[in-house]
Structures are given as structure tokens and as C-alpha cells.
Structure 1
Amino acid sequence: MGLLILLLLYAFLFYPPEYMLRLLRWGNADVYDYQKFPARTVAASDEPFQFSYDLQETAVLNQFNQSPLTNGDFEQLLGDTGTQAFLVIQNDTILYENYFNGASRDTVVTSFSVAKSFASTLIGIAISEGYIHSVSDHITNYLPELAERDPAFAQITIRDLLLMSSGIRYEEFPFVNGDDAKTYYYPDLRDLALNQTEIVGTPGEAFLYNNYHPLLLGLILERATGIPVADYLAQKIWQPIGAEFDGSWSLDEQGFEKMESGINGRAIDFAKFGRLFLHNGTWDGVQVIPAAWVAESTQADTSVDYANYYYNDFIFANGQGYYKYMWWGLQRDAQNYDFIALGNHGQFIYLSPQKNLIILRFGESYGEFGGAESWVDLFYDFATKFGG
């Protein structure tokens, strides 16, 4: 006990009190943390979009029930694994929509790292609008103080951040001074990203999932556009896709968006983000995202040497999976692939362009189901076999 007290006193000396108090009060992150952080509203659309309905619950459930992963009762699995919302949408039509564990259609769900796919999309839009020149820009063009601290930062490009291959140190543990905790709970994320990051590798050489990357992208967006990132999201995505409900983006204590996570909204509006990508960035005739950006963001980079670029326990380590611009991808064949916005505790927007299919799952946890990879295996199998 005495050693523990000494360690806590030491930590309070070296870290902001608010950071330590959050760690002690809140512990591990959960899906209800959005109720604790301050947030900036992401205003709904004046013209909400409504999906068509042609419920085919029996067909959807029968297909899922055929998988050995579900033990023949998919809805039981959804309930038992802490699922809040589950939707299957094909050809812009809702085939299945159900809510579990006390949730309903207007329940707020939170994104965790699904927010990264939104952040990447905002970078693409900012490039199309001329705020950012290209993904080849060096990040120090926008964040010059990084180069003043270490000239090596000048070698990192925006593309390196999007690909999670910057060479910036990232160590998940131990809990108090691990980067997972700091990038989630730190009260001044701008200061954390600008003054406490360290380069240990060569940009572009290896993939390393790293929450400093979206923080740095958020700083670039904030400086390039001159407005808060949440406001840019509202103007450029949330409202153009006909979001029915106000969303929000959780903030640190200095009013900066938690870029690595923290977009909060209703499941039905998250599904519209998926529809936007299935339509190659167009929304009812309006090009919201450049089609070239949608393709560049989601297709595999064929120049990557899979065996050397990804680490051994990469989530899709069978050679079929990849990571591109903050989307996870699964190559089906030379031309076809599925891609996923994926967040901790089992938040998924799974998209299969070949089937014009959206599978959306938000939940309190992955459940006793083998983590993200088992869910993705299940969705991939469904998308393969379900009617087109």
C-alpha cells in the first residue's frame, strides 16, 4: 500500500492533476464516457434523410444463424454481447434494424475509433477545398513548432499520419504513462501532441496504430480551416448527409476535439456516413467527398510489403487485410474489397461495395466473441453469402 501511495504521489508530480483524477475516477474507457467529457454540438440537418424500409428480418437472421460463430441464434448473441444497435442496409433500404440492452433508435452511441475514419474524410474534403495542398505535404508546414523541437518531424507527411506509419513512438502500457491513457484522458491534447511526441522510426517504414496521428491531423484541420473540427464535420458531412439528430464531439479541457474517438450520435446517422462512401462520396447528386478520395482512402496500397510493413499480430494477419487512411480493409479479389470504420468495444460500420451493403453494430463491448476479428469474420461471411 505504501508503494502504491508513493507511485501515485510521483505520478501527480509529473502529470496534470485532472489527468490523474480521470484515471483514478474513470478507469478504463467505456462507451458512456461521452457523458463525462465536455462536447461540441454537431448540428443536425434541416432536411433529414430517411432510408427506405423493406424489413427482411427472417432472411437476415437466417443467414447469420448459418454461421458457426452464432450458435444458431444471432439475436441472442447480439443481446449477450452488449450490442446496443444493429442494422443491415442494402441498396439504401433497411432490411433489419433492432436495438438491445435498453437502447432504442434515439439512444446516443459513441464512436471510439470510428471517429478516425471521419477525421480522414475531413482531410480529403479540406484538400478538395484548398485548405490543404495534398497528402504529400509535410506536417510541419502546418505545425512548424514540431520541427523547432525536433527537425526529424519535417520528414513526416500527412499521408504518413493517415497510414499510421509516421515513426512516432507509441506504447500502450503501462496504464498511467501509456499513450493509450494519455491520448484519451489528457486535459490538453494539443500540448500532448505538439510537445510530448517523439520520433523513434523512419516515416513510411512500418505500420503502428497510434492515437497521436489523429490528434495531429485535427490540429492541421483546425489551423488550415480556421474553425473547430466539429464545426467542419457538421458543415461538410453531418448536415449534407441528412443527419436526423444532433451529434457531438467530445473535447479535452481546452476545447479541442478528441480526434482519436468521441463522435457521439445515433446509429441511424452513423449509417448515413456509410451510405456516403458506398455512393463514392455523392449524396443525392451532390459530390460531398471527391470520388478519388473515397477510392484512395479505402483501396489497399499494393506497394506495401505486407510481411515487413505490418506487425505479426496485425488484426487481419492472414494477408487479406490492410489499413488505409484510417479505414480497415479486406481484399476479396483483385478488384473487390470490403472496408470498415472500426472502434473499440465493438463499434462497426462495415461496408461491402460489391453488395451495396452496410452492416452497422454499436455496443457496450465486443462481448465474449473473440474481439473485433470475430465480428469482422461474421460480417464478411454474411456479405459474401447474402443476396445482392
Structure 2
Amino acid sequence: MRTFGKWLGRTLLVLILLAGALFAWKREEIARVMAVNSLFSAEKIVQNFSHMDTMFLATSVPRGEAPVSALVIGRPIELPEAYEAWVTERAVTSAVVFKDGLLRHEAYYLGTGPDDRRISWSVGKSFLSALLGTLLDDGTITSVNDSVTQYAPALLGTAYESASLEDVLQMESGVRFNEDYLDFWSDINKMGRVLALGQSMDSFATGLTETNATAGESWQYVSIDTHILGMVIRGATGRPIPELLSERIIAPLGLEQAPYYVSDGHGTAFVLGGLNLTTRDYARFGQMIAQNGLWNGAQIVPAAWIAQSTRPSAKTRKGNTQYGYQWWMPADAREGEFFARGIYGQYIYINQPLSVVIAVNSADRSFREAGVSLSNIAMFRAIAEATQ
């Protein structure tokens, strides 16, 4: 018995030493996994959303050499009566409103400030759509009807083998992917752990082999489709997304700060939701889109692509919020009214007829509750009307 006790004690000591060695070896990865698990906690979410590069691997998007595009301040808006209550209820951290290109409202809440680079979440998808439009325009990518495997052959034999670029642009790939953020074992949360552990997003994507529907048959919002677009762009150009986005979109805009992407352990940008900018810079991007791709006299994104990508073309259910090429439109969208949207209340709302752009960042842990998205759009419309 005494011999067994000695053996057990030595075994436990070895296990403790091994665990300590493993922790020392994988300390950063373990820290990132822990960060993922507490990313949206009530006491940390606001701070986390403004400092994602302290918790995850990140890669810079060079801002270029252009001078900062000056903000011309217009007269303040008389905001809707319900605005302050909405800000509190929706845990808004920042709001910037442009009217006719003039800054008409800017405010920061919950201890944040204008220099915070905030996580885009799925607002970043609309940036990738704009980038793709420039590559289609110059012929680097031939057509949205091309197969994704034409540019990303690693997708042969996967759930994406039959999908076209348009299928993934419209979230109609048919891939089986669980996007439930509240389910620990969902695909979207597994993907988060892939990032935290420094593993490969491409390997994660090529590991998806099951489908729910034939590509192009029906609409289902699955964020991994946007990663596939990133694989297509990288395959077509042989260049990383941050470099391309900087060259074609970011540098011409004259942003205040260099954006950055959260990235995987192979330096691949998390294009489906990992872009980080100041709220003013989100608004600058939105203003360029609202101007049909024009910025300081230069055509940054083709006007025809903006028109095509912001019309409701996906097979969403009648009466629901509509979708185009990585852009959303209200169910009752007016002509030229569309928006980029990310979880927890990130928005770029564009109303071309009223010449209004609204950029909002939030830390809204109730963003999934019934009616929240509709109430946000109603508030944006009320703000837009208040600018007249």
C-alpha cells in the first residue's frame, strides 16, 4: 500500500509538471480561448469590443499615405425624442451621423471615445463585397457566376464544390452550418475557438462537407460563406485581404487610423467579422458607398456594383429583412435604403434619397430579442428624417 502511495504521488507530480509545461507552452492560446469564453460577458463586453487586438491575433490594414479626410461639421440635429432611451436600452457605444457629407451628430457612451477601433462583426462583410466589386471591374475575377472552386481549388470535394460566387454572396451556398451564438457546440462558436487557438480558418472551411440544400436553392445566413469569398479573392490575386483592402478601399478614403483584422494563426484575416475601425471611419466608408463609390473625385468602387450588391436579390422569405450581396435591406425598403449589420448592434445605415449615413457601434447583449432589429431601423429612419 505504501508503494502504491509513493507511485500515486509521483504520478500526480508528473501530471502537475506536464500540465504546467503545457500551460507554459500554450499559454497564449489558452488565454485566447478564455477570452472567447468571456468575450460577451456583461462586465467585459464594452472594453473587449474596443480592444480585440489585445485578446486575439491581429493583422494591420495599412491606412496609406493620404491625408486624413477632414470632417466638415454641419448644424446639430434635433434628435428624435426616443433617442436617449434607445441609446441606453441598446447599449450604444458610439453614433456618427452624416447628412450631405456633413457631420451632423457624433456621440460616445459607456466610457468609449472617438479613437476606439471597434469590432465590425458582420459589418465587415460589406467591406469585402466592395473589394470584390473592384476585382470584378478590372477582370481579375470574371463573373459572379464563376464557381468558387475556379479560384479556390481547395474547396473541391467540400460542401462548396457546386457553389458559385453569387451563391456565397447571397448566403445561398446550402452548406450545413449552425450559427447559434448561444450554443457552445455550434459551428460559429467552434470557429471562434479555431481563431483563439491559432488554427487555420481555411482548414476549418474545407472541413465542411455537408449541405442542407442545393447551392442557389434557398437562403440561409451562414457567416462562413464570407470566408469562402475571402478564399476566392486570395486565390484570384495571390495576395492577402488586408493588403488588397488597403490598396483599393482603405488608402483612398483617408481614414483617421489604420484598421486591423483579427486573424487566425496563419495570418489569414477573419474577413467575415474581424475588421476594426473607428466609428468615424465606418461612417466615411458608408459615405463613399452612399455616393455610389465616389470619394474626393475618384471612383473607388464601381457604381454599377454598388447598385447590384445593394438590391434585394437573395431568396429571403417575403416580409422579412431582405439581402443582396453582403448587404441588408429592410423588408419595406425604400429605393436606395440599405445597411451593413453585425451582431451586438453594429450598423452602417445608408439612405441615399435623404443623403444620410449613420454609423453605430453597440454592446447590446439583447440584440437577438424579437423586434430589436426592426426598432433599430425605425430609429435610423427617424434620425434620417430629423436631418431634413
Q: TM-score range by the shorter chain?
A: 0.7 to 0.9
Asked if residue 106 in structure 1 is aligned to residue 125 in structure 2, the reply is: no
- Contact 2:36/2:193 (8 A) holds in 1: no
Amino acid corresponding to residue 360 of structure 2 in structure 1: R
Match of 2:386 in 1: 386
Correspondence 1:288-367 to 2 at 5 A: 288-301=300-313, 309-310=315-316, 318-319=319-320, 321-330=321-330, 336-365=335-364
Match of 1:182 in 2: 190
2:84 aligns to what SS in structure 1?
helix
Picking from 155, 167, 171, the partner of 2:174 is 167
Asked if residue 141 in structure 1 is aligned to residue 147 in structure 2, the reply is: no
Match of 1:156 in 2: 163
Match of 1:223 in 2: 235
Query: Which contiguous aligned blocks of 4+ residues in structure 1 show a shift greater than 6 angstroms?
Result: 16-21
RMSD: 2.5
Label 1:166 to 1:95 Cα distance change in 2 as closer, same or farther (>3 A): same
1:95 aligns to what SS in structure 2?
strand
Amino acid corresponding to residue 326 of structure 1 in structure 2: Q
Amino acid corresponding to residue 164 of structure 1 in structure 2: M
Separation in 2 of the partners of 1:200 and 1:332?
A: 29
Correspondence 1:1-388 to 2 at 5 A: 22-27=32-37, 29-30=39-40, 31=49, 32-46=51-65, 47-57=67-77, 59=78, 61=79, 64-65=80-81, 70=82, 74-79=83-88, 81-147=90-156, 149-150=157-158, 153-173=160-180, 175-186=183-194, 187-301=199-313, 309-310=315-316, 318-319=319-320, 321-330=321-330, 336-365=335-364, 370-383=371-384, 385-388=385-388
Label 1:20 to 1:170 Cα distance change in 2 as closer, same or farther (>3 A): farther
- Contact 1:86/1:98 (8 A) holds in 2: yes
Label 1:44 to 1:153 Cα distance change in 2 as closer, same or farther (>3 A): closer
Separation in 2 of the partners of 1:227 and 1:382?
A: 40
Separation in 2 of the partners of 1:364 and 1:34?
A: 17
Separation in 2 of the partners of 1:145 and 1:104?
A: 42
Render the CA deviation track for 1:267-310: whole Å, top value 9, x for unaligned.
11111110111110111221111110000010122xx6xxxx43
Q: CA deviation at 1:265?
A: 1.5
Q: CA deviation at 1:197?
A: 4.0
Separation in 2 of the partners of 1:125 and 1:357?
A: 24
Render the CA deviation track for 1:108-156: whole Å, top value 9, x for unaligned.
2110000111111111111112221111110110122322x25x74421
Q: CA deviation at 1:97?
A: 0.6
Q: Which runs of 5+ in 1 are unaligned?
A: 1-15, 312-316
Separation in 2 of the partners of 1:241 and 1:21?
A: 35
1:53 aligns to what SS in structure 2?
coil
Render the CA deviation track for 1:298-352: whole Å, top value 9, x for unaligned.
0122xx6xxxx435xxxxx635x3100111112657x714111111110110000
- Contact 2:32/2:56 (8 A) holds in 1: no
- Contact 1:112/1:262 (8 A) holds in 2: yes
- Contact 2:146/2:164 (8 A) holds in 1: yes
Separation in 2 of the partners of 1:231 and 1:246?
A: 12
Give the structure with higher Rg (CA). 2
